[in-house]
Structures are given as structure tokens and as C-alpha cells.
Structure 1
Amino acid sequence: MRFGLLLLTMFTLHAGLPAIYAEETAEPQTLEQVFAEGVIDLDAAPAPPIVQPSTELAPLAENENQLISAPAQQTSVCASGAGCTCSTCTCQAPACSCEPCGGNACTLCDRIPLLNKFPSDRCFDDFIMPVSNPVWSIDPRSLTYVRGIFINQMIDAQTPVLGAGDLQVYALQLGIALNERLSIIAVKDGYNTLQTRGVGNRTGWSDIGLGLKYVLIRDVENQFLLSGGLIYEATNGSSRVFQGNGDGVWTPYVSIGKQIGSGHLIASSGYHVPGDTAEESQSIYYSIHYDHPVTSKLSAVAELNGIVYTKSGQALPLNIEGGDWINLGSSSVAGNNVVTTAFGANYRLNSCLSVAGVWEFPISNRKDLLDSRTTVTLTLQF
């Protein structure tokens, strides 16, 4: 029985070998034949599982972490301007820093170390200083500057006592910014030459005017300033050119500045209070300045100045006064009002040096001593 089963098994294997061998030696099918015979069914094949990437990063080795540097700090415009001695002020936390000379070649201002210790507030650099009425039209910014002034004023032929003539003034103004709000200003000094038909040729020194200025409101974002201060004019000048009379004059004042579009408005007003009301007249003054850029360096300038006399003096029996530079102490000027206007330009030679010039003339019926005036300034700002 067992022997028969063994023979049957051997026979079955022998019969199947040719078929297996035929399949292995058959010629390979093409890819089209395989798909046609349905050997591979792509539609029925299951889609591979989608593996979500892991959001957890493997911790860096200590040496790998040292190779990664921190991102560079972003630089933004410095809002306060503190500590800046040049026009390019940047903020780099934790404190403000300033790029020396604005990235350009240093100018003359950067080579004068004494005044560079008291830098101007550079966050209002586009403003331009008023030109006409140079003593009393006060710039509201806290600035360190030196400004040379030349005035040539023509006197009308109908002027009582003096007659036709002219006045020249050679002056030097100075400002020292103790910080971005407080500054010391020297607004009046200089040497005068006076030539008229009535009194001939005369020369002499001007009175000296010194004061303080404090910025009450300093809004960098809106480019707005409000300042106030007090100026004292001493009596050290020469009487030959109508200076040195009285017992000094105190002048409290306010000044505002505002950017309007690409232009800038500066307005100031104050009250002249003489120490000796018999020798000098009392008055209220006002000045309005507007500048507008024409090019990157050139700006047009328009200004308006006025003075209203509130109380007469008793020094001279006249109905005219001297305006911004001279106080005659005339006895019949209370209620008089003189208004002038000026037009000109300002040119920036570089980031700290500028030259300006305006021509001024009266627009009121009253002229007093000012028939017309030319004022030229050269300003070095630190």
C-alpha cells in the first residue's frame, strides 16, 4: 500500500514538470499585454498611506547650536534724537546711536569739537530759520549754531529829524542747545553804521540781547514744536547809533513750528517791557515765517512782521519808532502799527551750512525807519 502511494506521487510530479518548464522558458510579455490581460489592476491597487511630517525638531547638539548666529537687529528712525551729533539718527536697542557724519564725508561742523559737545535737535532738520526780523523772530527748535547777519536798511526821505539815509548792521548770533529742550540764545549784538542827511555819519556798537528758550511741546511724529522763553536786552550799546538808552528791556516770548505738507511754518510773538518806561517804548511784536522746498537744497521763503506800540516813552518828541533794532523812546507812538513783508530764499551748502537772503518792505501806511531792508545770513548749525 505504501509502495503504491509512492509511485503515484512520483508519477504526478513527473507529469507537471514540462508545464512549469514551459512557463519559465516562454518569452516575456510586453507592458501592454500585461495590462490587457489584467495581470496588474492599477485602479484596484490601494493608495499608499499618507504620512504626516512631524512638527517636532530634534534637539541640536551643543556644537551645532553654536554655529547658528542670532538675526541682525533692525534699524529704525530715532524718535528722540538723543545723543545725535549728525543728521542720520538711528535706534539700535537698547539705546540710540548716531551714524557719524550721516555716512558721508565730514563737514566743517564735525571738525569743531567744542560746539559738537552741544548737538542740535536733529529730528526737525527740514525747518529753516527765519531771516527777516532776525532778533525777535525766534526759531522754536533747540539748536547749537553760529549765524552771521548783515542788514542794509534804507530810511525814507520823509523821516523826521533823520531824513534820507541808510543803516548797516554786522552781527553774530549764537545758540547753544543744552539738551533737546533747553537752549541759551544770544540774539542781538554787532556793529552799526548810520548815514543820514539829518545827523550825518555815525558808527557804534549795538546793545546785547541774551536769553533762554525751552521747548514745551516736542512732537517729532507730527513735526510740531511749541517753545517759550525770556530775553534780556542790556544797555551797553552806543548812543551815537541810538543804542544804550534806558535800563534794559525784558521780552517774554512764545514760538511755534509746524510742518505743513512739504513746507514749514514758524510763528513767534513777544512783549517788550523796558526797565525805564520813560526812556523806551513798550510794544508787542509778531513774526510769521513760511519756507517751501524748490529743490533738495533750495527753499523759497516768505515772511510777515509786525509791531504794535502799546505805550509811548518820553525821550524824544516824535511820532515814529525804530522797529526791531532801535527803540527811540518816542512820546507819540502809542497805538501805532507797522507791518512789513519779506521774500527770499535759503540755500543749503551742506548738511550744516546754509546761506539765506530776503528783501523786506512795509505793507502798512506807516513806515517809521524802514523804507526797505535787505537781510543776508550765513548759518553754521551743529
Structure 2
Amino acid sequence: ALSAFAAKAGDVDASKAVVTAPLVDPWADTIRPISNPTLFDLAIPQTQIHPLFIHNRMPDTVDTILGKVPVGGDFQVYAMQVEIALNERLSINAVKDGYIDFNPDSTLTTSDGWANIEAGLKYAWLLQPEQGLASNFQLQYEIPTGNADVWQGEGDGILTPSMSVLKLLGKFQVADQFGFRLPIDDSESSVFYNSVHVSYKLTDWLFPLAEVNVFHVMDAGDGSARFPSQVGGLVPAIAKFEGGDLVNLGASNTVSNFVSLALGARVRIPDSPIDLGFAWEFPLTDQDNGLMEDRFTVDMVIRF
């Protein structure tokens, strides 16, 4: 009888057993945008490393107050971004650094050197994973530590406040980030930008995407002599365009907006924290009003 009692006491009622469900990341299907990498990222704070390579072909001619000036050639950027999430809402971002190899065909001077360093904070004021909705505020500061030979290192730095929004709609992801590039001094241009991303989860590992980037000069620079190795520092005084996402020329005669379209995809390596990305980007506005004929961006996102 005692053994029967012990056996009965040891029986487990399976209907009353507590089952612990595995933790599910509500943002597991989100992917980082590819184009405009220094100014456009996810609204969700994450810990990640983001190495990237840019190959940018420049137009044969660019628009200046002297007429069309030949440039051509290309430049490459080698960089690595780092984001460290302090908690689910706050992260520290290092968004700009790296090395620039500048190779024009005409007029300008071949050179290479370091990019400026830019870093700041991201705060997600809205996180609704059950709705697939997130939004954040960011504040970055670009420090003029780079080399003037490659259009960096001038001025007193640039503050960039911005806001981003993320929405998951079934297999679609929509993201938007807009902000302001506000120089500390008057020599550089103040710029508004807006970047939009749409992607689709075609399979568990393939995410085709399209992105649009818009740059609008709100207040032109003063055109003072800068970047002395490039045409004796005259570029800001004669250029009728700004430098887009990577360069602030301080051009005093900017008259046009710059709009580009990027088409590409992200590939998620199965059973790993790594995403690979590729995008081909080209202007929708006149390519003479900028430094881009087209651009190829290849990157990797390593999440922790």
C-alpha cells in the first residue's frame, strides 16, 4: 500500500504541467536599410557591428557658376559603424568613420584620407512590438577630424537631430528617417534630409528592398575657401550643388535638391546573427547637381 501511495504521489498530471514558451524576438524579421548609411538606420536600439564598402562613380561633368566642369572618376569608402544598446530604448551610435579613396578623372586632385568621426545617441520613445511599430529620436555630432584632401576636416562640426519610424506590415517593412544637418558655424550648408525604405520578406533569408533619399539645402554655406588641395579651395565658391550624405562643401550657390533611388536586397545567413546587403543607387534628379552618377554599397550587419 505504501509503494502504491508513493507511485501515485509521484504521478504528474500532464494537463497541469507548466510549459515555458521560448522567448521570441518581436523584431526578428526587421532589417537595416543599406543606402545613406551615416544618416539612416533602424528605429530599434540594437547592439551591432556594421562594416560597409561604397563604390561611388562621379558624373562626367558637374554644374558650377562657370558652367559644366569635367570631373568623372570615382571614390571608395571603407568604414565600420558600431551601435551599443544600453537597454531596450537607448543606444550609443558611432555612425561615421573610415577611409576615403578619391579618384577623379579631371579638374580635381586624386587623394585619400580619413573621414570625419560622427557619433551620438538613439532613444526609442515608442516601442509597440505587438503592432510592429517603433519610433526614435537621435542626436549625432560630426567631429571635423578627417582630411581636407577628401572633403573632410573643415568647420566646427555638424549636429544632426533626426527622427525615425518603423512599421511591419505582414511581410513588408516600411521605415522612414528625416533630420537636419546643422553646422556649428556659418561656413557649411544646413541641410534637411529624408530617407524611406520598403522591403519584403520573400523567404526566410531573402529581403528585396527599395530606398529613396532626399537632400534639400535649407541655408547655403558661405562659399569661403575650403579644401585647399582641390582647385585651390575654390570649390565652395563655384559649385551649384552640395555633397549629399558624406560631404558638406559649404557651397554658396546651391540651387537644386538631390534625390536618389537605391535598389537591392538583404540576405540573412541561416542560424547566424549576420545579414549581408547590396544596393545599387542612382540619382532621380540631374546627376550634374551632385557627386553621384551611381553608387554600389555592400555591407554586413553582425548582431549581438
TM-score range, shorter chain: 0.7 to 0.9
Code of the residue aligned with 2:203 in structure 1: it is T
Aligned residues: 278
Deviation at 1:354, TM superposition (A): 1.2
Q: Does 1:303 align with 2:237?
A: no
Q: Does 1:371 align with 2:293?
A: yes
Code of the residue aligned with 1:378 in structure 2: it is M
Q: Does 1:336 align with 2:238?
A: no
- Which deviates further from its counterpart, 230-239 or 364-373? 364-373
Secondary structure of 1:313 counterpart = coil
Deviation at 1:64, TM superposition (A): 7.2
Secondary structure of 2:26 counterpart = helix
Q: Kindly indicate which of the two structures has a greater share of residues assigned to helix.
A: 1
Gaps of 5+ in 1: 1-60, 77-87, 91-121
Deviation at 1:62, TM superposition (A): 8.0
Q: Where do 1:109-258 residues align within 5 Å?
A: 122-159=25-62, 163-196=71-104, 197-258=106-167
Secondary structure of 1:240 counterpart = helix
Checking the alignment, whether the CA contact within 8 Å between 2:26 and 2:130 is kept in structure 1 is no
Alignment partner, residue 240 of structure 2:
319
TM-score, length of structure 1 as denominator length: 0.70
Q: Kindly indicate which of the two structures has a greater share of residues assigned to strand.
A: 2
Deviation at 1:233, TM superposition (A): 0.4
Give the 4+ runs in structure 1 shifted more than 6 A: none
Alignment partner, residue 67 of structure 1:
10
Q: 2: CA distance between counterparts of 1:227 and 1:89?
A: 24
Structure of higher RCO (CA pairs closer than 8 Å, 6+ residues apart): 2
Deviation at 1:229, TM superposition (A): 1.3
Alignment partner, residue 302 of structure 2:
380
TM-score, length of structure 2 as denominator length: 0.87
CA offsets, 1:126-174, max 9 Å, x none? 0110001011012101111111110011111112566112110000000
CA offsets, 1:83-130, max 9 Å, x none? xxxxx626xxxxxxxxxxxxxxxxxxxxxxxxxxxxxxx420101100
Code of the residue aligned with 1:172 in structure 2: it is M
Q: 2: CA distance between counterparts of 1:74 and 1:256?
A: 36
- Which deviates further from its counterpart, 156-165 or 176-185? 156-165
The higher radius of gyration belongs to: 1
Gaps of 5+ in 2: 225-235
Deviation at 1:63, TM superposition (A): 5.3
Residues 346 and 171 of structure 1: CA distance in aligned 2, closer, same or farther (over 3 Å): same
The alignment's C-alpha RMSD in Å is: 1.7
Q: 2: CA distance between counterparts of 1:147 and 1:68?
A: 53
Q: 2: CA distance between counterparts of 1:336 and 1:272?
A: 17
CA offsets, 1:46-102, max 9 Å, x none? xxxxxxxxxxxxxxx9857733446321334xxxxxxxxxxx626xxxxxxxxxxxx
